[in-house]
Amino acid sequence: MTSSKKINRQAVSLFFRKIKEADRIAISGHINPDGDCVGACLGLCTYILDLDPAKKVDIFLEPISEKFRFLKHADKILQEKPDEEPYDLYFSLDCSDPERLGAFREEFEKAEFKICVDHHISNQGFGDLTFIDAEASSTCEILYDIFEEKEISFDTAQCLYLGIVHDTGVFKHSNTTRKVMEIAGVLIEKGVRPDFIIDETFYKKTYIQNQILGRALMESILLLDGKIIFSAIKKKDMDFYGIESGDLDGVIDQLRVTEGVECALFLYEKVEGQFKVSLRSNGNVDVRKIAENFGGGGHVRAAGCTVDGNVRDIVNNITPFIEQQLKQEKSV
Ligand code: 5GP
Ligand code: MN
């Protein structure tokens, strides 16, 4: 017996009616696209094109990691709009607010009909039709609920599985429910190979990526009696190694599993004097609330923000918020 899908039938009918009626469809996700964002965008595109191969579907994302390039239609991803005409239908996937669409927000706003699919608790709802479920592990899980199981091809299944794997940290975060495992089972029956997706897109590292991981761990610093750990990579070091932000995936996870740590911070310098901060919690700190104080967001145990300043000041500004929450000691 499988857990029931959480869907509003009327909303789903409208979702498919709008796809049917639209001549020009666009799909976009958040800046700095992660596995769930890429899986959702390519999964939805593949699903639509499987139903009607003649549909015009454009996907707009910032450049994606090489490791996601094997997914079907990854070669359709654009950064620039090919013409001036607005879209009939525009999907925003895995974005807590329209600003997260970055440069693609303007076109999204111009579209005749906008659909938002997302699982961030902070999402207030935007667009003409919304599918927001903060209990869903991932945007890919919500898409699975919307899709007809029999219409999910192997290629779509690979995308959805990828998104679920990445947002659950390979089926280990607190968002890994019975339903998640059942969906994964259905996707495996569609032909998805867990060993391939998990190793190739999650664990596999290039030699340089391993070196930078080692360096970040070696230079990490414990604060507050070992309850906080942080590490940072400067732009000049990223340039020295010739790496981009995607090469730093996994650093924050390794910091988080350090014994005794309640909250991990990892900073990398996007442009000089500006750092992307990733925050992870082991349960007693709501990192989304902390990230929101710095203009960011995310989930209770995984959040992020972008902050101006130097590493010392940024860490000194963030840690009192963590300390305050730890004093209250309420499990999240
Ligand atoms: P990561 O640290 O892996 O970049 O992000 C962890 C989570 O926080 C993801 O769910 C991501 O969408 C969210 N997140 C990261 N950076 C930001 C940000 O600047 N703004 C918002 N609203 N969410 C963010
Ligand atoms: Mn997500």
130-156 tens-digit pLDDT? 999 999 999 999 999 999 999 999 999
pLDDT surpassing 60 at residue 331: no
pLDDT band, very low/low/confident/very high, at 162 (cuts 50, 70, 90): very high
Residue 312 identity (one-letter amino acid):
R
CATH number at residue 69: 3.90.1640.10
Is the domain of 27 the same as that of 169? yes
What pLDDT shows up at residue 106? Answer: 97
Total structural domains within the chain: 2
> Closest residue (by CA) to atom 2 of ligand 1?
278
Q: Measured between alpha carbons, how far is 262 from 123 in angstroms, rounded to an integer?
A: 26
Locate the ligand 1 atom nearest the alpha carbon of residue 32 and give its number.
4
List, in sequence order, the alpha helices (H) in the chain. Answer: 9-21, 35-51, 105-110, 139-146, 154-167, 178-189, 194-198, 207-218, 235-241, 251-256, 287-292, 311-328
What pLDDT shows up at residue 100? Answer: 97
- State in Å: Cα 119 to ligand 2 middle: 7
Its domain, for residue 214, covers: 207-331
Could you tell me which residue, 311 or 246, shows the higher pLDDT? 311
Q: Measured between alpha carbons, how far is 78 from 9 in angstroms, rounded to an integer?
A: 32
What pLDDT shows up at residue 187? Answer: 98
Which of 202, 229, 262 terminates a domain? The answer is 202
**Percent of the chain at pLDDT exceeding 90:** 95
Is the domain of 46 the same as that of 28? yes
pLDDT surpassing 70 at residue 271: yes
What pLDDT shows up at residue 5? Answer: 76
Is the domain of 141 the same as that of 43? yes
Backbone torsion region of residue 114, taken as left when φ is above 0, otherwise alpha when ψ lies between -120 and 50, otherwise beta: beta
CB of 277 sitting under 6 A from ligand 1:
no
Is 302 among the domain residues? yes
Is the domain of 84 the same as that of 47? yes
Judge residue 177's burial from the number of C-beta atoms within 10 Å of its C-beta, 0-12 exposed, 13-18 middle, 19 or more buried.
Answer: middle
What pLDDT shows up at residue 328? Answer: 87
Which of 150, 180, 202 terminates a domain? The answer is 202
What pLDDT shows up at residue 63? Answer: 95
DSSP state of 100: G
Is the domain of 46 the same as that of 179? yes
CB of 245 sitting under 6 A from ligand 1:
no
Q: Measured between alpha carbons, how far is 66 from 161 in angstroms, rounded to an integer?
A: 18
pLDDT digits (tens, 9 = 90+) for 26-73: 999 999 999 999 999 999 999 999 999 999 999 999 999 999 999 999
The CA-to-CA distance between both ends of the chain, in Å, stands at: 30
pLDDT band, very low/low/confident/very high, at 6 (cuts 50, 70, 90): confident
Rounded to the nearest 10 degrees, the angle between the axes of helix 139-146 and helix 35-51 is: 20
Q: Identify the sign of the CA torsion 101, 106, 107, 108.
A: positive
CB of 123 sitting under 6 A from ligand 1:
no
Per-residue buried b or exposed e for 71-99, using 16+ beta carbons within 10 Å of the residue's own CB = bbbbebbeeebeeeeebbbbbbbbbbbbe
What pLDDT shows up at residue 223? Answer: 98
Is the domain of 146 the same as that of 181? yes
CATH number at residue 286: 3.10.310.30
The beta strands (E) that lie in 30-145 are given as: 56-60, 77-78, 89-93, 113-118, 129-132
What pLDDT shows up at residue 297? Answer: 95
pLDDT digits (tens, 9 = 90+) for 286-312: 999 999 999 999 999 999 999 999 999
CB of 297 sitting under 6 A from ligand 1:
yes
CB of 306 sitting under 6 A from ligand 1:
yes
Pairing of strands 297-298, 24-29: unpaired
Pairing of strands 113-118, 129-132: parallel
What pLDDT shows up at residue 7? Answer: 82
CB of 281 sitting under 6 A from ligand 1:
no
Pairing of strands 274-281, 302-308: antiparallel
Is the domain of 165 the same as that of 303? no
Which H or E run includes 29?
strand 24-29
> Closest residue (by CA) to atom 11 of ligand 1?
298
What pLDDT shows up at residue 73? Answer: 98
Query: Tokens 């940024």 belong to which residue?
Result: 314
Is 4 among the domain residues? no
pLDDT band, very low/low/confident/very high, at 2 (cuts 50, 70, 90): low
CA dist 323 to 138, 222, 230, Å? 29, 13, 14
Is the domain of 39 the same as that of 155? yes
Give all strands of the β-sheet with 89-93 in edge-to-edge order.
77-78, 56-60, 24-29, 89-93, 113-118, 129-132
What pLDDT shows up at residue 330? Answer: 59
pLDDT digits (tens, 9 = 90+) for 95-125: 999 999 999 999 999 999 999 999 999 999 9
DSSP assignments along 281-315, one per residue = ESSS--HHHHHHTTT-EE-SSEEEEEEES-HHHHH
